[in-house]
Amino acid sequence: MRSLLVLSALTSASVTIHTGHFACYLHPSPSPLQEINAFGQMGVMVKRDDLLHLHPSDINGNKARKFLALHRRLFDSDSSTSAPRVIVSHGGVQSNALRALSALVRTYNERGGSCRLLYYCKKIPSWLRERPVGTFAAALEQGVEFRPLANAEYAKHFGGDAGSPSLPQTLMPQEEDVLFIPQGGACGSAEEGVALLAEELLTQLPSLLPPAAAATIVLPGGTGSTALFLARHMQRRKDVEVVVVPVVGDWAYMARQMSRLDHLTGGHGVFPSIAVPSTPPSVFGEPTQGNFQLWRELVSSTGIDFDLMYSVPMWGVLREAWEGARGSVMCWDGGAGEWAGRRWPIGGGAEREERMCVVLHCGGAEGNVSWLARARYKGLAVDV
């Protein structure tokens, strides 16, 4: 009989987070905090998860944390769970999750394992099929088996606000031991690596915060899984707030995504605040001249390369807030059982002595080559 394991079911509310066990896979651990000046704001701290690498697959950034549990299952001889024969996932063909999964499977197979990666996606543009670049090109070289679907069929199987928590039977491969990983790795097992991130921040922040000061941790979000688990494990520090900037949909879409994942992982009812920008965000992944110029300015002023898909739109929202735009955040009121709005808790300008801003750099800059290729295809001036 075929068996299907859903990665989101591997971690429940009762599972102990063994952060010490996982630390041996990560380097550097902890990832450093770096002080920068951005858009006239002094003393902004960046948590450099872009420097984080997972041995032996060498995936980096946010996905190194989110796929720690899968990494152990593939490479840890002490793991009580056997490795899958087939891993199935879905999403964009330039996604960071695809890059990470393909690297994991490639490394596992190079070390004598036997695992296939099937990846469902929307129709692949003809220009990209003819001249593969970025993550798509790397995934092809690493043997990923793409399964393009018509947009309507993809939406039927994987669409909706929360995506699909399980693999539709009509798409299930014939092999035994199939592991389904939802888009972006938005599943319960991601909590273990994010819990390690929280432990690092809980250790690093006290020495950086001025007396009686608080902190806001800001990060971009697609599915919101990292932000959800980070808020869950940072809650012991009441003076630290986690704010996620949605870059795929609006705040309500993000809230529904996180509510579903919270329900699947124990229903803790602890959520990050969700940014509501004063200016509606651009279409996710769509190259714009404004985001390119913002990226150039960030690289020039900070010396750090940020990814154009997630980080740059987040920085645009931060800059607007620091410049006085009327943005806000939505916060979960557990007593009332609803989301309520209030002003930004960013920590810029005169608030610097009262609240430190810590920006989580989730990595992914290696995908910038595909963003720039799409921009050139559109005729944008993006020479670097």
Same domain, 316 and 339: yes
pLDDT band at residue 79 using 50, 70 and 90 as cut-offs:
low
User: How many Cα atoms sit within 13 Å of 284 on the Cβ side?
Assistant: 14
From 185, 205, 223, give the residue that closes a domain. Answer: 185
Same domain, 298 and 354: yes
Residue 41 in tokens: 């704001």
Residue 384, in any domain of the structure: no
Same domain, 47 and 110: no
Contact, 272 vs 231, CB < 8 A?
yes
Residue 30, in any domain of the structure: yes
337-370 per-position pLDDT tens digit: 889 988 776 655 445 557 889 999 999 999 898 8
Residue 21, in any domain of the structure: no
Same domain, 235 and 352: yes
As a residue count, the chain comes to: 384
Query: CB-based burial of residue 195 (10 Å sphere; 0-12 exposed, 13-18 middle, 19+ buried)?
Result: buried
What pLDDT, on a 0 to 100 scale, did the predictor assign at position 358? Answer: 96
Residue 145's domain is classified under what CATH number? 3.40.50.1100
Same domain, 204 and 288: yes
Count: domains in the chain: 2
Q: Evaluate if residue 112 carries a pLDDT over 50.
A: yes
Q: Cis link prior to 280 (omega < 30° from 0)?
A: no
Same domain, 267 and 226: yes
Q: What is the rounded distance in angstroms from the CA atom of residue 43 to the CA atom of residue 156? A: 47
- Cβ within 8 Å of residue 317, ≥6 positions away: 245, 275, 277, 281, 327
Same domain, 130 and 215: no
Residue 105 in tokens: 């499977």
Q: Evaluate if residue 17 carries a pLDDT over 50.
A: no
Residue 93, in any domain of the structure: yes
Residue 141, in any domain of the structure: yes
Structural domain of 363: 26-52+191-378
Residue 196 in tokens: 């390690």
Residue 227, in any domain of the structure: yes
Residue 260 DSSP symbol: H
Give the global pTM: 0.88
Among the residue ranges 55-59, 173-177, 201-205, 254-258, the one predicted with the least confidence is: 173-177
Residue 319 in tokens: 């800059």
Helix (H, G, I), strand (E, B) or coil at 349: helix
Q: What is the rounded distance in angstroms from the CA atom of residue 303 to the CA atom of residue 300? A: 6
Residue 383, in any domain of the structure: no
* pLDDT > 70 in the chain, percent: 88
Same domain, 229 and 266: yes
What pLDDT, on a 0 to 100 scale, did the predictor assign at position 13? Answer: 32
Same domain, 164 and 278: no
288-331 per-position pLDDT tens digit: 999 999 999 999 999 999 999 999 999 999 998 888 766 788 99
Q: Please give the mean pLDDT across all residues of the chain.
A: 86
Same domain, 248 and 364: yes
- Cβ within 8 Å of residue 217, ≥6 positions away: 47, 201, 230, 234, 240, 241, 242, 243, 358, 359, 360
Residue 364, in any domain of the structure: yes
From 152, 185, 218, give the residue that closes a domain. Answer: 185
Same domain, 91 and 203: no
pLDDT band at residue 46 using 50, 70 and 90 as cut-offs:
very high
Same domain, 332 and 315: yes
From 136, 160, 185, give the residue that closes a domain. Answer: 185
